[in-house]
Amino acid sequence: MRWLSRLGKKPLVEKRFDSELQFHLEQQIADYIASGMPAEEARRRANLEFGGVERFKEECRETRWENQFDIFIRDFRFALRGLIKDRRFAFVSIFALALAIGASTAMISVVENALFEPFPYKDQRKLVVVHIRDLDEKDNSRSFFTMPEIEEIRKQNTVFEGTASNQQDDVVQMGTEASLRLDGNFVTPGSFDFLGVPALLGRALEDADYQPGATPVFVLRYKAWQGKFHSDPSAIGKTFTINGVARTLAGVMPPRFAWGGADLWIPCSYEAAQTLTSGQFDKYWGFVARLKPGVSENEASAEMGLIAKRLATLNPKDYPRHFDTSVENFGHAVVPQEFRNSLYLFLVAVSLLLLIGCGNVANLLLARATTRNKEFAVRAALGASRHRLIRQLLVESLLLALGGAFLGVLFAWAGVRVLSTSMPNSTIASETVIEMNPTVLVFALVMGVGTIFIFGLVPALRASRCDLQDSLRDTGKGLSGTGSNARLRNSVIVLEVALSLTLLFTAGLFIRSFLALSHVPLDFSIDHVLTARIPLPPNRYKTPAQITAFYQPLLQRLSSLPGVTAAATASTYPPYDCCPAEIEIAGKSREQKRTATLELSSENYFQVLRIPFLEGRTFLAEEVNGARRVAVINETFRSRYFKNENPIGQRVHLLLMETFDDPLPNAWFEVVGVVADAKNHGLENPNDPEVWFPYTVYPRPAWALLVKTVGEPTNMIETVGKEVWASDSGVALADPESLEHVRDVSMLAQPRFGLWLVTVFSAIGLILVTIGVYSVMAYSTSRQTHEFGIRMALGAEAGDVLKMVLRKGTMLLLGGIGIGLAVSFAVGRTVVAQLWGVSAFDPLTLAAVVMLLLSVGLAACWIPARRATRVDPVTALRYE
């Protein structure tokens, strides 16, 4: 370890070095004296020949590595001192860089995780779902299939390597005190091999589990095991009663496995699936396939089209008159189209942010470099080698880059945390885990750090290239930036302003759209309403009579609870009363196609939601209990189909009810009342005609419960749950929530998230632009100090100088705004699908954004402009 001991003995090395040179000198003197020179003269000549001892020493030192370390430390301290002296520059460049790195990394990580790699499943990019889309009715599309259809697709296709089907089911695990309700999934044989994820504990489902006579088993999701089974590893191998069947827990899946969003998976052979009647959509199964290698989505779509045509001729009832068939990437099918578009849009925005940030840093470095030209020329003249100059600037850049990178990683980390917690759940796959993407982080860091090094080295390269005398003579304070450098800086600013305007304008549109959306009157009251689903086990609740026997006493008991004013049941929650279906009206021709949304409900439904009656009345209790064929219609229905006639007593034919496997024969209903319109097709859409009829006429397995409470609705969850359990211990409340919460989550969460995201990003953009404008203006005015001095000496007023600076700033801003407007209009066209109640060219938003940008930009110019007016002509002219 000679090198280590050398580092420790540095003073000794230094001393030895001195004595070596001393020896040389003395030898020389001795030689001169020996040749007859007088001692005094010999000494003088030897010293003269030897020259500057210190310079040789320095050169010798540079050849030794332990001194390299010293030099580095010295450069480091020098750079740090320089940056501290110019701390506004240092702070602004580090901040701009960190903001750009952080924001882009966070956003790209989220998009990557949510859109491109949302699942832990094997070969997930090859997973597809098949869509049957009705060409006449846009909303009418399905990607679910009946078991016979799935059998046919499996038999006939040549494009899929494997398939898996699943069927959702509400699962109740019977307990001694209260029953536990979980989301279950029936899965077909081979599903777990298809997904290719091994179990975390125990085992996944195997082929043997699907054989007739096999021990009934199930597999748990990590989250359910953690929450409802308290992460107890000994639960594996134990038996639980699930929907009345004793099943053994075979294994627990790893955290990201969430197939079908279920809590547990139950094996179901294809034979058993044919006759399964307990699922939520009983006959329709989810169907996912994996494309064979080399098969494109288009090829698969074409073949699925042929198979679907054949199936349609066998079962015309199950297919729309005109339809097309397509396969779609599974990940895309899970993330809604609009949300995907917003994420792509943000992705573009954020990449632009990274560019803006790097542009700012480049601008700042260039500006600083130009003012330092002379410093480098002087140092070169004093003997600094090119090598040393470059190294010293590298150290300075390294400091800036380290600061920016460190803060940037911090920002990225915080950004990912915030984004992942504020992401609306319903819009991303439940398997998605949002975490920082290291590749993106590295890319952003390389971009940012690269900018610093490239533009940070410019002064050294220039100093070593340019003529020394020129630099020394140049006062550096001539006219304002002319030449290519200045043009480059100015165009960076113009582009930044344009980008920022586009971002701000988009944000403004989202804000306006969100405000419009959240102010849409629902026309029914959502306060103090508790909602829940009550999934009834289909094997015990087959007939209307059985269902009535459960609900009628339950609703009565709930209504009489203290703190409850009314209770009702209905087939869905408003305002999403799904899917208009064809109807017929007695005495009117069927030429004109009439549709209405069908809704089963109890008599108190209108009372709970405070929907007023315009004519007639609600159902009578005996009509509901007796399953009588009576109906209530909404105002849209009346005005569209009855115009001036009296609707009371009219008869409507609900054709849909006769098409079910278990049809309601002769589905004619008599209108007994008309209610005012309430939103029934989401917030964004106009109301559909709607018909309500007693829930007792047709059995459906899952029902919505609506309870009007006096106090906070969620406080009543336990009380209501107990009543349900008392009615039937095999039934449990599903998803109890206040209706207000449901409204917030289902209707506003996604637009709010989009709004929030775009606002944050445009705010970051605005900050970066402010920094950009400020840095360029501050730099160019400092270059003009000399010019301002002359002007003021010749009689210019402070106001004139102020005007000059501001005029230049305004020109840059206006240029950027002009380009930005053009880009905004182009972008507006693409975001228009995500806007509601506001035009993509909204003039108010436009004016506000332009004003904001102008005022912020001018404020950024103001500081350097004010400084320019304070120039004292005498000092400015003497300054040099």
Contact residues toward other proteins (CB under 8 A) are 16, 19-21, 23-24, 26-28, 49-52, 55-56, 59-60, 62-65, 380, 383, 385-386, 464, 468
For the bound state, the minimum distance from the C-beta of residue 452 to other proteins, rounded and expressed in Å, comes to 25
Structure tokens given for 33? 């004296």
Using alpha carbons, select from 838, 860, 834, 833 the residue that is nearest to residue 848: 838
Instruction: For residue 185, give the 3-state DSSP assignment.
Output: strand
Q: Which of 201, 468 has the CB closer to other proteins?
A: 468
Residue 533: strand, helix, or coil? strand
Closest CB to other proteins among 35 and 592? 35
Least separation in angstroms between residue 9's CB and other proteins is 13
Q: How far is the CB of 40 from other proteins (least distance, A)?
A: 21
Nearer to other proteins, 21 or 702 (CB): 21
Question: How many of the other CB atoms lie within 10 Å of CB of 31?
Answer: 12
Q: Which is nearer to other proteins, 385 or 439 (CB)?
A: 385
**Comparison of 7 and 621: residue with beta carbon closer to other proteins:** 7
Smallest separation (angstroms) from other proteins to the CB of 25: 9
- Closest CB 774 distance from other proteins, rounded Å: 35
Compute φ and ψ for 164, nearest 5 degrees.
-145, 140
Tell me how far apart the alpha carbons of residues 739 and 829 are, in angstroms, rounded to a whole number: 35
Q: Which is nearer to other proteins, 21 or 734 (CB)?
A: 21
For residue 63, the minimal CB distance to other proteins (Å) is 4
Q: How far is the CB of 458 from other proteins (least distance, A)?
A: 17
CB of 64 to other proteins, least distance (A): 6
Report the nearest approach of other proteins to the CB of residue 397 (Å). 21
Q: Residue 57 class from Cβ within 10 Å (0-12 exposed, 13-18 middle, 19+ buried)?
A: middle
Residue type, 871: V
Determine how many CB atoms are found less than 10 A away from the CB of residue 122: 14
Pairing of strands 690-694, 651-654: unpaired
Cβ distance 722 to 311 under 8 Å? no
Nearer to other proteins, 3 or 794 (CB): 3
CA distance 867 to 857: 16
| Least CB distance to other proteins at residue 30 (A) | 8
Distances (CA, A) of 160 to 130, 289, 304: 11, 6, 10
Closer of 69 and 668 to other proteins (Cβ): 69
Name the minimum Å distance from CB 805 to other proteins.
37
Of 50 and 91, which CB lies nearer to other proteins in the complex structure? 50
Q: By C-alpha distance, which of 448, 230, 204, 342 is closest to 833?
A: 342
Of 23 and 879, which CB lies nearer to other proteins in the complex structure?
A: 23
Nearer to other proteins, 376 or 455 (CB): 376
Of 434, 462, 433, which is closest to residue 373 (Cα–Cα)? 462
C-alpha dihedral sign at 158, 159, 160, 166: negative
Closer to other proteins by Cβ: residue 15 or 322:
15
Q: Are 827 and 509 in contact (CB under 8 A)?
A: no
Tell me how crowded residue 872 is: count the other CB atoms within 10 A of its CB. Answer: 12
Q: How far is the CB of 483 from other proteins (least distance, A)?
A: 23
Q: Which pair of structure tokens corresponds to residue 579?
A: 């899917």
Taking the complex as a whole, the smallest distance from the CB of residue 57 to other proteins amounts, in Å, to 8
* Residue 469 to residue 471: CA distance in whole angstroms: 5
Helix (H) or strand (E) holding 287: strand 284-291
List phi, psi (to 5°) of 748. Answer: -110, -15
Are the CB atoms for 614 and 628 separated by under 8 Å? no
The answer to whether the beta carbons of residues 583 and 595 sit under 8 Å apart is yes
CB atoms within 10 A of CB 422: 12
Burial (Cβ within 10 Å: 0-12, 13-18, ≥19) of residue 455: buried
Q: To the nearest whole angstrom, how small is the minimum distance from the Cβ of residue 59 to other proteins?
A: 4
- Please give the Cα distance from 761 to 345 (Å, whole number): 12
Q: Name the residue nearer to other proteins (CB basis): 20 or 712.
A: 20
- CB distance 546 to 627 below 8 Å: no
| Residues 21 and 57: beta-carbon distance below 8 Å | yes
Q: Which is nearer to other proteins, 26 or 735 (CB)?
A: 26
CA–CA separation, 28 and 46 (whole Å): 6
The 10 Å Cβ neighbour count of residue 99 is 24
Residue with tokens 């020493």: 57
